Amino acid sequence: MAAFILDGKKIANDIRAEVASEIRTLTAAGVRPGLAVILVGNNPASEIYVRGKVKTSEELGIYSEKLTPPPTISTEALLKIVADLNRRDEIDGILVQLPLPAQVDSKRVLMAVDPAKDVDGFHPMNVGFLSTQRPGLVPCTPAGIMEILRRSNIPIAGREAVVVGRSDIVGKPTAMLLLNANATVTVCHSKTRDLPAVCRRADILIAAIGRAGMITRDFVKPGATVIDVGMNKVTDAAEFNSLFAGDRKREDIFRTSGSTLIGDLHPQVAEVAGAITPVPGGVGPLTIAMLMANTVKAAKMRRGSRVPELSKA
């Protein structure tokens, strides 16, 4: 039987509606959440992501600012921009879009963001809060993955979870969230021996590698839930054919646009898994929804009890 498709777009829309309602309550109480996004250079993927972040902020009633310093900016100059945003009371969230140009010391810049405004959850203090189960700001994509699992009623406690990829942005924080939710967690990477065998242990498999179609059906235990965090553009016709030959819809997209977006899962995983997230329309929409939720959370946390008690987040 074909895998159940976990509809990330629908889940993200539900979260957006909940966040929009919180924003209305906050704004009525005189607190309009504000988000500043810093985009350096012209990485096409970053430009698309940032456009989505700013657009969604506006749709939900968050005040937003996009800062685009020149691609030649120095670490010191970027630190000054961050320091100014840290000081401004109307800015609740600061997001520095990654990657930064090579001349910039990214770790210093991320460390300079006020942890209370760190809506990406990348500051070492928030990383520490996550690993010690204290309240804080949690990275958006991992938080979104947990929302997909929870809102789809996929049990986590006591289950085997395998995370493929150990990035600071996705793999590591996702592993920590799954561990905090009482899964038995294995983190795999390029040096893992017999990756397919380790992945086959998973009740919940998280693919966050960044290689088109790398997770094939023999990595997947029948009935497992598989979350695809990959976003890979396929432009090569031979590669396309090896993945999608016979898929009319994809063939049409590829023929007209010359490319198609594919995750880390091979299409045949859908024949084995119990449930999968599609690409596009799976994890992607959750990342922005959780950024909005984090901005509201930061606005509330920074003001402590000075805002009305809201439902959650």
In the complex, the smallest distance separating the C-beta of residue 29 from ligand GUN, rounded to whole angstroms, is: 29
- CA distance readout (Å), 122 to 38, 57, 85, 300: 14, 20, 16, 19
Interaction between residue 35 and ligand GUN (CB under 6 A): no
Nearest to 265 by CA among 204, 298, 201, 220: 220
Residue 100 interacts with ligand GUN (CB under 6 A): yes or no: no
> How many angstroms separate the CA atoms of 46 and 216, rounded?
28
Cα–Cα distances (Å) from 217 to 77, 127, 145, 268, in that order, read 48, 33, 21, 6
- Interface residue with ligand GUN among 78, 112, 140, 204 (CB under 6 A) is 140
**Residue 174 interacting with ligand GUN (CB under 6 A):** no
Q: Which of 12, 19, 96, 163 binds ligand GUN (CB under 6 A)?
A: 96
| Least distance (Å) between residue 309 CB and ligand GUN | 29
Nearest-approach distance from CB 56 to ligand GUN, in angstroms: 14
Task: With both helix axes pointing from N to C terminus, report the angle between 171-180 and 124-131 in degrees, rounded to the nearest 10.
Answer: 30
- The answer to the question of residue 98 lying near ligand GUN (CB under 6 A) is yes
Q: How far is the CB of 8 from ligand GUN (least distance, A)?
A: 15
Return the CA Rg of the chain. 20
Is 138 an interacting residue with respect to ligand GUN (CB under 6 A)?
no
What is the greatest pairwise CA distance in the chain?
59
- Cα angle at 57 between 55 and 63, to 5 degrees? 120
Query: Which residue stretch of 91-99, 227-235, 241-249, 256-264 sits at the interface with ligand GUN (rule: CB under 6 A)?
Result: 91-99
Residue with tokens 């905090």: 180
The answer to whether residue 236 is catalytic is no
Active site residue 53: yes
Does residue 110 interact with ligand GUN by CB under 6 A? no
Asked if residue 262 binds ligand GUN (CB under 6 A), the reply is no
Q: Which residues are catalytic?
A: 53, 97, 120
Binding site for ligand GUN (CB under 6 A): 95-98, 120, 140-141, 169, 287
